[in-house]
Amino acid sequence: MNALILSLLLAGSADDLASTRVHGLRLKAPAAWTRTDVPDGVRYDSPSKDAWLELNVMKVEPKRAAKKCIDELVEKLGEGWTHIKVGGHPALEQVNTAKADADHEEEQPIHVEVKSVTFIGCNGATKWVMTVAANKKQEQRYDKLIQKILQSITYAK
């Protein structure tokens, strides 16, 4: 019994973070989540299949001031964005909630409410977009995880 408890404690949780680098960005991402390369970035899927995170990182051409980069993005994207700071530079956040059908082994799909949060950041040389979507019932868990990931983001020099 003690060996089982010890092995569970040493295994860590599905939300433990590990350092990684995606193009010009350093961050801590969920270590136990499945990582898949996507164009310009990576996608992580939770082991429980109730959340995913996608991060795309691109160079800014031509380079410009970080604030100008964000202002240009807001102009193109429109309203509904909250200005924040990530990695010491300007960023944007937008939260959305939608209803969706989740696949289930039985014939009837499961209806779930999904919360998605999109972040966009820019330091003038590198811009990035990160979207996290999760079952709204797990909102507290994933909101904490998102904050830890955001706090870990730094721009590579």
The phi and psi torsions of 82 (rounded to 5 degrees) equal: -100, 135
Residue 3 confidence (pLDDT) above 60: no
Any idea where the domains of the chain sit in the sequence? Answer: 14-155
Sheet containing 82-86: order of strands: 34-38, 41-45, 51-59, 126-135, 110-122, 89-102, 82-86
Residue 2 confidence (pLDDT) above 70: no
Confidence (pTM): 0.86
pLDDT digits 0-9 by tens, 37-64: 999 999 999 999 999 999 999 999 999 9
User: Is 14-155 CATH 3.40.1000.10?
Assistant: yes
Which of 25, 59, 55 shows the shortest CA–CA distance to 42?
A: 55
CA dihedral sign of residues 75, 77, 83, 84: negative
Environment class of 48 (CB within 10 Å of its CB; exposed 0-12, middle 13-18, buried 19+): exposed
Environment class of 81 (CB within 10 Å of its CB; exposed 0-12, middle 13-18, buried 19+): middle
